[in-house]
């Protein structure tokens, strides 16, 4: 599926070379960051069928992990990047351990609570996280003698590389035994368990990997901004990323990327309509979900499920 949008990704990668407008490059950088988050959430929701409403918590854990390591012990970005991913992945597994048997709406409520717990925790641990004021002076990435600084172009290129690598890995994983096990759990968890699939282990794997990808995004976000606050990781962010996954198509890596790009760029493209921008944006979303509920590049399994009116537990 990722090959369908490969030319589109190539154009986005080369666009900054022909467009020196820093604002437009920054918008594309934000879109690439959302694409990374959407791919990670797609592993959890699209592949494994686990409705997660607190995904921004993993994003926050990755960002604060790098920020604290950098400010407290002087850890550079390139070392902090894998550590941030690992810490967010471990958080995903730890979240899954007590709630692995919970399904559907109950799982959504638990993950929503987890997201709020993380946000409130970083808000109140003022001695460590700076509280509502956040953390300032986070170091930017450095390659040799070149410092990324506040220029969006190097961050954009870095994010496109990360998105490409993660998208390729997830696409390969979807075709492996792990991906097939996730899809079996998504379609019918009881039948998957009866066929010998260790559903608990594969759910934990999805949460861990999805959380790790969000941790990568959080580290890049903290390094780019140079400052982070709890307000950047609220519930609205989790909902927005989930909307990107659904819009692009559950179970489709390419769809997650496309959904992230569309939802990131659409508000900017509609900016000339000023007052009616978000109204038009909402109408387009409603029409799309009404007439193409499987999303732009929805997996064939999802398309058949919606057409036949059958849902998974």
> In the chain, how many H helices and how many E strands?
14, 4
Contact 238, 53 (CB under 8 A): yes
**pLDDT by residue, tens only, the chain of 313 residues:** 556 556 666 676 677 767 677 888 898 899 999 999 999 999 999 999 999 999 999 999 999 999 999 999 999 999 999 999 999 999 999 999 988 888 888 889 999 999 999 999 999 999 999 999 999 999 999 998 899 998 888 999 899 899 989 999 999 998 899 999 999 998 888 899 999 999 999 999 999 999 999 999 999 999 999 999 999 999 999 999 998 998 888 888 888 988 898 888 877 777 776 677 677 777 877 887 777 777 777 755 555 555 554 444 3
Q: What is the separation of C-alpha 187 from the centre of its chain, rounded to a whole number of angstroms?
A: 22
- Does some domain include residue 81? yes
| Residue 299, domain CATH | 1.10.3470
Q: Are 92 and 211 in contact (CB under 8 A)?
A: yes
Residue 88 lies in a domain: yes
**What distance in Å separates the CA atoms of residue 105 and residue 313, rounded to the nearest whole number?**
10
Q: How many domains does one find in the chain?
A: 1
Distance (Å) of CA 276 to CA 239, 263, 265, 280, 288: 22, 16, 16, 6, 18
End-to-end CA distance of the chain: 26
Backbone phi, then psi, for 148, in 5-degree steps?
-60, -35
Contact 131, 189 (CB under 8 A): no
Residue 313 included in any domain: no
How do residues 200-258 score in pLDDT, each as one tens digit?
999 999 999 999 999 999 999 999 999 999 999 999 999 999 989 988 888 888 889 88
Q: Are 291 and 284 within 8 A, CB to CB?
A: no
Does residue 56 form part of some domain? yes
Determine phi and psi for 227, rounding to 5 degrees. Answer: -155, 145
CB-CB contact of 50 with 44 (8 Å) = yes
In a domain, 20, yes or no: yes
Give Cα 17 to chain centroid, integer Å: 26
Residue 141 backbone dihedrals phi, psi, to 5 degrees? -65, 150
pLDDT digits (tens, 9 = 90+) for 82-92: 999 999 999 99
Query: For residue 103, is it within any domain?
Result: yes
Nearest to 58 by CA among 86, 79, 31: 86
- Decide if 187 is inside a domain: yes
Nearest residue to 36 via CA among 140, 119, 160? 160
Residue 232 structural domain: 2-308
């Amino acid at each position: 599926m990722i090959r369908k949008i490969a030319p589109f990704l190539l154009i986005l990668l080369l666009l900054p070379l022909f467009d020196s407008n820093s604002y437009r490059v920054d918008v594309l950088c934000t879109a690439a960051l959302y694409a990374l988050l959407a791919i990670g959430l797609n592993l959890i929701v699209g592949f494994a069928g686990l409705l997660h409403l607190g995904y921004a918590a993993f994003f926050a854990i990755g960002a604060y992990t790098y920020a604290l390591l950098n400010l407290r012990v002087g850890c550079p970005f390139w070392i902090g990047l894998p550590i941030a991913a690992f810490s967010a992945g471990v958080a995903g597994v730890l979240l899954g351990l007590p709630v692995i048997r919970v399904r559907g709406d109950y799982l959504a409520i638990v993950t929503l609570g987890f997201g709020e717990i993380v946000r409130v925790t970083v808000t109140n641990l003022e001695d460590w996280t700076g509280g509502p004021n956040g953390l300032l002076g986070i170091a930017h990435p450095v390659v040799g003698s070149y410092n990324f600084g506040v220029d969006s172009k190097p961050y954009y290129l870095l994010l496109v590389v990360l998105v490409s690598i993660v998208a390729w890995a997830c696409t390969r994983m979807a075709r492996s035994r792990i991906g097939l096990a996730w899809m079996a759990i998504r379609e019918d968890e009881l039948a998957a368990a009866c066929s010998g699939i260790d559903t608990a282990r594969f759910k934990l794997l999805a949460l861990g990997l999805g959380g790790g990808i969000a941790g990568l995004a959080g580290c890049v976000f903290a390094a780019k901004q140079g400052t982070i606050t709890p307000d950047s990781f609220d519930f609205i962010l989790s909902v927005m990323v989930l909307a990107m996954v659904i819009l692009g198509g559950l179970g489709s890596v390419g769809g997650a990327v496309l959904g992230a790009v569309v939802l990131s760029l659409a508000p900017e493209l509609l900016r000339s309509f000023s007052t009616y921008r978000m109204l038009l944006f909402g109408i387009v979303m409603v029409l799309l979900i009404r007439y193409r509920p499987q999303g732009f590049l929805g997996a064939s399994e999802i398309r058949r499920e919606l057409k036949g009116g059958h849902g998974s537990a």
